[in-house]
Amino acid sequence: MDSNDIVSPTLITDSRKEIKNNDDRVLVVYSGGTIGSAPRDLADPESPEVVFPWEDLQEAVSGLQIMPFPVDAISFREPLDSANVGPKHWKAIAEVVQQFHDAYTGFVIVHGTDTMVYTASALSFILQDLDKPVVITGSQIPALYKVRNDAEQNLITALLIAQHKYSKLQSVPEVSIFFRDRLIRGNRSKKLNASGYTAFDSLNYPPLGTAGDLIAIDRSAVREPSKAGFKIQPELDTNVVMFDVFPGLQENPELYTALLGSDHIKGVVLKTYGAGNVPTQPIEFLEAIEDAVKAGKIVINVTQCVQGDVKQGLYDTSAVLQDMGVISGQDITPEAALCKLMNVLGDGDLSSTARKSRMSRSLAGEQNYSMYTTVIDSENHLIDTRKGEEGRYRSAAVVINGFSDGGKTIEKCLIRFVGASVSGAGKVLIKIFLNLAAKAQPSESLTVFAGQYVKSSEESEQTFTFDIAQTARQELKAESTVTVYVEPCREGQGELSWRRLELTLFLSE
């Protein structure tokens, strides 16, 4: 799509209105959709519906003629059914917002409902450090020929939210969707109903606002406007795939190897069961995922459920993915994960490591937490307490990734022993300390004591995971020392070994 596919903005309000300055205006970007559709032959209501030009929708929505502030419009030269909207159109919309950013208070994108969630998610990543409202809306029933419809209410309310100065509302400087009576974050949205007026919802995040007789914005739910300076990153890499895990998939290696093993694929959104689980048998399925990660592909784990989140590592059937290097998508929607992956892969300035790091972070409020992992030990280590000592310990000083990410709260802090095992008879007691003084005795009465955990003898390798968030909030520093102290639960018995020791911070805004 190029500039020839979009026509220039034209003033659609009464030109006699006094315009104090351009910043009082709202710009509508009309892409098409049901809201502007009607039967191809208006004399034959049964003829197939097509999308009509902006001027027809403008005439049908009477409220546009009495708006109390200037509204301009820009349109795709050929308005589309949203089933035909994709990455090149997202880029075109973003470039319009960039071009006219300084001239308007806010923007309203008029769009079909089928791919609205994808467009909203993609724009949230493309429009970086956004400082003005971008509200997407449409309707389930067309305005052009249906007397009873939801089009006018949706469009007029979206305009009032975008022109927050006139409406005396808090600005919502992010990409959002307004539909029926609620304003929701675009990259948190899901289409849940194919025909009802309440077509969209945000099940893992509260509405940004509601609209009844009055419009109310929830200040606590809205992201703070960025001060970094608005910019766009419109390049998208579409060499990605998204697919569901389902019973029987693991029995069809031709299918999953074609999806995971293709040389053209750079990223995979894996839609898994429940809290992020996959079948672990036969082993070839897991090996295909591991091979994809080793080949440099980004694999992100999202839940098939419409509500809830991935808790990667909670069960053995998801811990294997964590150990492979699959990224936990937490509570991100599949649509947002796919668009985020396209955007991150499309940024040619990022290294492979930086791309994976960005996929683990909340870039535009699309997930609850930003995750930062610090590898403490990357070689095999062993603490042996079978020689009669009361206890043995190992300390490592490291720079903690994410610690300096200002304004964030530590929600979780996980210590993970990857490839861990306890050998010998009986059990061992593992104690974790943060910034333990060099000559201090490793006592649980110290404020730097993060917790203790009993592990039984087990020759096979496992992953031991401990949450030390409470101590981390008090004791974690930009450069911290993590001390692992092990003592036997039975005199003279037990050793703990691991292949990798890592600390992961979960930070919320």
In this prediction, residue 1 carries a pLDDT of 45
Q: Which residues of 140-174 are buried (b: 16+ CB within 10 A; e: fewer)?
A: bbbbbbeeebbbbbbbbbbbbbbbbeebebbbbbb
- Beta carbons within 8 Å of 299's beta carbon, 6+ residues apart: 267, 268, 270, 289, 292, 293, 321, 325, 326, 327
Q: Would the pLDDT of 6 be above 60?
A: no
* Distance from C-alpha of 329 to C-alpha of 175, rounded to nearest angstrom: 20
* Distance from C-alpha of 458 to C-alpha of 403, rounded to nearest angstrom: 34
| Cα dihedral value 169, 172, 175, 180, nearest 10 | -30
Look up residue 71 and give its amino acid: V
Look up residue 491 and give its amino acid: E
In this prediction, residue 225 carries a pLDDT of 84
Instruction: Report residue 440 as tokens.
Output: 């201090």
**Of 267 and 393, which is predicted with more confidence?**
267
Average confidence (pLDDT) over 158-181: 95
pLDDT band at 121 (very low <50, low <70, confident <90, very high): very high
The topology (CATH level 3) of 376-508 is Jelly Rolls (2.60.120)
* Distance from C-alpha of 143 to C-alpha of 151, rounded to nearest angstrom: 6
pLDDT band at 12 (very low <50, low <70, confident <90, very high): very low
Q: Of all residues in the chain, what percent carry a pLDDT higher than 70?
A: 93
Please confirm, yes or no, whether 465 is among the known catalytic residues.
no
Looking at every residue in the chain, the average pLDDT score rounds to 90
Average confidence (pLDDT) over 151-180: 95
Q: Would the pLDDT of 309 be above 60?
A: yes
Question: Could you tell me how many helices (H) and strands (E) the chain has, helices first?
Answer: 11, 27
| Strand residue runs (E) in 41-152 | 49-51, 71-80, 106-110, 127-128, 134-137
Contact 410, 477 (CB under 8 A): no
Q: Would the pLDDT of 30 be above 50?
A: yes
In this prediction, residue 386 carries a pLDDT of 65
pLDDT band at 492 (very low <50, low <70, confident <90, very high): low
In this prediction, residue 15 carries a pLDDT of 32
pLDDT band at 313 (very low <50, low <70, confident <90, very high): confident
From-to residues of CATH 3.40.50.1170 in the chain: 3-232
Is the CATH code 1.10.1740.10 the one for domain 240-367?
A: no
Nearest CA-CA partner of 82 in 125, 26, 42, 120: 120
In this prediction, residue 441 carries a pLDDT of 85
- What secondary structure does DSSP assign to 193-261, as a single string? -SSSS--EE-TTS--SEEESSSEEE-GGGSPPPPSS--EE-------EEEEE--TTGGG-HHHHHHHHH
Look up residue 167 and give its amino acid: S
- Bridge partners (DSSP) listed for residue 50: 38
Nearest CA-CA partner of 134 in 124, 125, 126, 144: 124
From-to residues of CATH 2.60.120.260 in the chain: 376-508
In this prediction, residue 491 carries a pLDDT of 55
Give per-residue pLDDT as tens, 52-94: 999 999 999 999 989 999 999 999 988 999 999 999 999 999 9
Catalytic residue among 10, 13, 34, 374: 34
**Of 90 and 509, which is predicted with more confidence?**
90
* Distance from C-alpha of 124 to C-alpha of 363, rounded to nearest angstrom: 9
- Using CA atoms, how far residue 127 sits from 94, 175, 282, 363, 459, in Å, is 7, 8, 43, 11, 51
pLDDT band at 389 (very low <50, low <70, confident <90, very high): low
In this prediction, residue 333 carries a pLDDT of 98
Sheet containing 71-80, strands listed edge to edge, beginning at the edge strand earlier in sequence? 10-11, 71-80, 26-32, 106-110, 134-137, 175-179, 182-185, 209-211, 215-217
Query: Which residue pairs, CB below 8 angstroms and at least 24 apart, start in 98-103?
Result: 98/127, 98/230, 98/231, 98/232, 100/9, 100/27, 100/74, 101/132, 101/230, 102/22, 103/22, 103/23, 103/25, 103/27
pLDDT band at 14 (very low <50, low <70, confident <90, very high): very low
**Locate tokens 């070994």: which residue?**
497
Average confidence (pLDDT) over 17-27: 63
* Distance from C-alpha of 442 to C-alpha of 82, rounded to nearest angstrom: 62
CA–chain centroid gap for 443, Å, is 41
- What secondary structure does DSSP assign to 388-435, as a single string? S-S-EEEEEEEEPTTTT-TT-EEEEEEEEEEEEEEEEEEEEEEEEEES
Is the CATH code 3.40.50.1170 the one for domain 3-232?
A: yes
CA–chain centroid gap for 256, Å, is 25
From-to residues of CATH 3.40.50.40 in the chain: 240-367
**Locate tokens 């390798």: which residue?**
461
The two most distant CA atoms of the chain are separated, in Å, by: 95
Look up residue 368 and give its amino acid: N
* Distance from C-alpha of 170 to C-alpha of 224, rounded to nearest angstrom: 11
Count Cα neighbours of 466 within 13 Å in the Cβ-side half-sphere.
24
Question: Integer distance in angstroms from the first to the last C-alpha of the chain?
Answer: 36
